[in-house]
Amino acid sequence: MPGATHIPVSPSVPIETLNRFTASIIHKVSNPLSIIIGNAQYLLMKIAEEHTEEPEAVEDLSNTVQAILNESMRLASLMSQLLGFSSRLANDRPSVTDMMGEIERFLGRTAAPPPDETARD
């Protein structure tokens, strides 16, 4: 690409740089995520206070907001785990084998569970 700036990336990027980058991303995701969680909690509280003639509609809305809250909390937990992983990298200087094992465990916890095969019958 003409005029594009290319920054060479060394295969041995210092772990401190990776740690700072990870912390920056987590910070940028966590701030709006906190607002989403707070608003979802507020909505659940307001829904519980409402008295309506359509309880089914309130239940549907409540379930939708609860799903938003659950997934937001799951993402917040993943951000916390990622920050912990990043901090351990900076402090412990583990081997590549240890890092790969930790990444594999982290991804195993974040993957969606396989679909229930019995539900198809």
Q: Write the pLDDT tens digit of every residue in 98-108.
A: 667 767 776 77
Does residue 10 lie within any of the structural domains? Answer: no
Q: Domain total for the chain?
A: 1
The token duo for 63 is: 């379930």
Which residue range forms the structural domain that includes residue 42? 16-107
Which alpha helices (DSSP H) does 13-121 contain, by range?
Answer: 15-49, 55-92, 96-110
Q: Does residue 2 surpass a pLDDT of 70?
A: no
Asked whether residue 116 is assigned to any structural domain, the reply reads no
pLDDT band at 111 (very low <50, low <70, confident <90, very high): low
Report yes or no on 6 lying in a domain. no
Residue 5 lies in a domain: no
Is 77 contained in some domain? Answer: yes
Write out pLDDT tens, residues 18-35. 777 888 888 889 889 999
Query: Is the pLDDT reported for residue 121 higher than 80?
Result: no
Average pLDDT, the chain: 76
Q: Which of 106, 110, 107 is nearest to 84 (CA)?
A: 106
Query: Rounded CA gap, 52 and 38, in Å?
Result: 24
Residue 96 located in a structural domain: yes
pLDDT tens-digit map of 60-87: 889 999 999 999 999 998 888 888 877 7
Decide if pLDDT at 113 tops 80. no
